[in-house]
Amino acid sequence: MATPENKLAFDGGWEYSPAPESTDHIKVEKKYELFIGGDFVKPESGKYFNTINPATEERLSRVALANDADVDKAVKAARKAYRGPWSRMKPADRGKYIYRIARIIQERAREFAAIESLDGGKPIREARDVDVPLASAHFFYYAGWADKLEYAFPGRKVRPMGVAGQIIPWNFPLLMAAWKVAPALACGNTVVLKPAETTPLTAMKLAEVIADAGLPEGVVNIVTGAGDTGSSIVSHPGVDKIAFTGSTEVGRIIQRALAGSKKKYTLELGGKAANIIFADAAIDEAVEGIVNGIFFNQGHVCCAGSRLFVQESVAEQVIRKLKDRMETLIVGDPLDKNTDIGAINSKAQLETIQSYLDIGKQEGADIYQSACALPDKGYWCRPTLFTGVSQSNRVVQEEIFGPVLAIQTFRTFDEAISKANNTPYGLSGGVWTDKGAKIFRMTQSVRAGVVWANTFNKFDPTSPFGGYKESGIGREGGLHGLDAYLRLEA
């Protein structure tokens, strides 16, 4: 920690004693089966895959690999549950089951946070303070909608879609499951959920919660596997609606695969958000916002503020302060409560990030990385800045999904907007200024679904989230998030 650059460590460098979250209270089984029709069942394939701790490269558990036959079983179980108890149940009772899920997650929050951190590599502080409480809050919010849906869409009657197939990513495993499952259930649908192959554990824990909450069997089914399992859900004729969160590349394949079917779909895809700092911003707050924007969750965030635009007159100051701040960031053991940046989620993702670091350098950008120490084992990436980049650089145009920030400058408002919008993505954006009028004009001009003014990376169950342009179709969260799981009729 005590590096010469470390100007923010006022006494010349703090040494933090380790403060690891204990894991002796959590239960991770040696093996996880598929959750179909209310039971934990063996996969038809007989195959299992490893899920590993990216901070230690050690195996945490073995998880069932679902094939077409398993997906078919899950869809049939979901259909049966839909026809049977779930769509006929009193909406208020449906809501009560969802409330139960919210409550049990709260009761087991500590365990969920630790497992999320172990399986995905995210800092325990984030899992504890963001992922798990938000997941519970999401169930709590949508539970209340179950018997109030008729008030959400004036002039329309609402009906559930039927069976929802849901495919979620590895960056916020439990939270994304909550984003998908909670509104689907509230609207009267049943679910086949596939967690990401590198982070299946909290979804399997959620299966336990759902069983403990006494939901009728088959209302939620969870099948684990990789891309093939996902594509089996997408193409299954018994699925009425697909909800996908992941890369634009896969989203495109899914949209194409759904062509000609009657399936409704929502896609929450990639991003390359502009975070725009005006000279009249509160600079220290803005620097915190930049750090939160790109280094939160190792930058594994689709709405990460991965393109920084700084007004020229303050660029030098902002970049200097940002570098000072980066030196204080602790990269390491995700379970340690001091850790700011945990492990990169997987070896494959680390390789992707590293390839972009090489590309950035080859394209002539200047690279800066903090001087922090990295653990010997596991997958790690130092917080990284690129300066001297232009709009056409690949590190400016393409989603890296890591702690890598590309910095550009601007002089005028119009220049900032035109650069910010020069991307096929449109998920999120940020603006920092003390002028109210500028905030309004800016937030109106950024072509993105979520815009944070003088803040960044904030989420709430009541707040719709989703992208413009190639960042996706549809919204999740809030009243607007109900739409994805309902048929609106005259």
Partner 1 sequence: MAAKAERSKERVAVAKTYKIYIDGKFPRTESGRYFTLEDPKGNVIANVCRGSRKDFRNATVAARKAQPGWAGASAYLRGQILYRIAEMLEGRREQFIAELKLQGVTQRAAQKEVNASIDRLIYFAGWADKYQQVFSAVNPVASSHFNFSVLEPTGVVSIIAPDDSGLLGLISNVAPTIVGGNTCVVLASESMPLSAVSFAEVLHASDVPAGVVNILTGLRSELTEHFASHMDVNAIVFCDGARKTARTVQELASDNIKHVVARTDIDWNRDSAQHPYLIRDTQEVKTTWHPIGS
Cα separation, 193 vs 238, in Å, equals 14
Q: How far is the CB of 470 from partner 1 (least distance, A)?
A: 5
Q: How far is the CB of 466 from partner 1 (least distance, A)?
A: 7
Q: How far is the CB of 165 from partner 1 (least distance, A)?
A: 17
268 is an active site residue: yes
Q: Which of 83, 397, 479, 487 binds partner 1 (CB under 8 A)?
A: 479
285 is an active site residue: no
Task: Draw the binding track, 385-424, toward partner 1 (x: CB under 8 A; -: no contact).
Answer: ---------------------------------------x
Residue 106 near partner 1 by CB under 8 A: no
Residue 463 near partner 1 by CB under 8 A: yes
Residue 450 near partner 1 by CB under 8 A: yes
Select 315 or 448, whichever has its Cβ closest to partner 1: 448
- Number of neighbouring beta carbons within 10 Å of residue 57: 12
Residue 465 near partner 1 by CB under 8 A: yes
Q: Are strands 384-387 and 366-369 parallel, antiparallel or unpaired?
A: antiparallel
Residue 472 near partner 1 by CB under 8 A: yes
Residue 451 near partner 1 by CB under 8 A: yes
Cα separation, 178 vs 184, in Å, equals 10
Select 120 or 289, whichever has its Cβ closest to partner 1: 289
Q: How far is the CB of 467 from partner 1 (least distance, A)?
A: 8
Order across the sheet with 31-32: list the strands. 31-32, 58-64, 48-53
Select 46 or 155, whichever has its Cβ closest to partner 1: 155
Residue 449 near partner 1 by CB under 8 A: yes
Please give the size of the binding site for partner 1, defined by CB under 8 A: 47
Choose among 469, 468, 446, 476: nearest CA to 307.
446
Interacting residues with partner 1 between 208 and 267 (CB under 8 A): 248, 251-253, 255-256, 258-260, 267
* Spatial contact of 199 and 343, defined as CB atoms under 8 Å apart: no
Stretches 44-52, 64-72, 340-348, 462-470: which one binds partner 1 (CB under 8 A)?
462-470
Q: What is the CA radius of gyration of the chain?
A: 22
Select 35 or 142, whichever has its Cβ closest to partner 1: 142
Cα separation, 402 vs 99, in Å, equals 35
Interacting residues with partner 1 between 265 and 304 (CB under 8 A): 267, 269
Interacting residues with partner 1 between 110 and 169 (CB under 8 A): 137, 154-156
Select 95 or 472, whichever has its Cβ closest to partner 1: 472
Residue 186 near partner 1 by CB under 8 A: no
Q: How far is the CB of 106 from partner 1 (least distance, A)?
A: 14
The neighbouring-strand residues paired with 309 are 276, 408
Stretches 24-32, 208-216, 329-337, 470-478: which one binds partner 1 (CB under 8 A)?
470-478
Angle at 17 between CA 54 and CA 106, to 5 degrees: 60
Q: Which of 471, 482, 484, 485 binds partner 1 (CB under 8 A)?
A: 471
Select 14 or 440, whichever has its Cβ closest to partner 1: 440
- Tell me which of 126, 268, 399, 476 is the catalytic residue: 268
Q: How far is the CB of 246 from partner 1 (least distance, A)?
A: 12
Choose among 251, 110, 105: nearest CA to 168.
251
Select 143 or 331, whichever has its Cβ closest to partner 1: 143
- Tell me which of 302, 303, 372, 381 is the catalytic residue: 302
Task: Draw the binding track, 350-379, toward partner 1 (x: CB under 8 A; -: no contact).
Answer: ------------------------------
Stretches 112-120, 162-170, 299-307, 454-462: which one binds partner 1 (CB under 8 A)?
454-462
Can you give the length of the chain in residues?
490
Select 27 or 259, whichever has its Cβ closest to partner 1: 259
Residue 435 near partner 1 by CB under 8 A: no
Q: Which of 103, 110, 159, 469 binds partner 1 (CB under 8 A)?
A: 469
Chain residues in the site for partner 1 (CB under 8 A) = 137, 154-156, 248, 251-253, 255-256, 258-260, 267, 269, 424, 439, 443-444, 447-455, 458, 460, 462-466, 468-473, 475, 478-480, 488, 490
Catalytically annotated residues: 268, 302
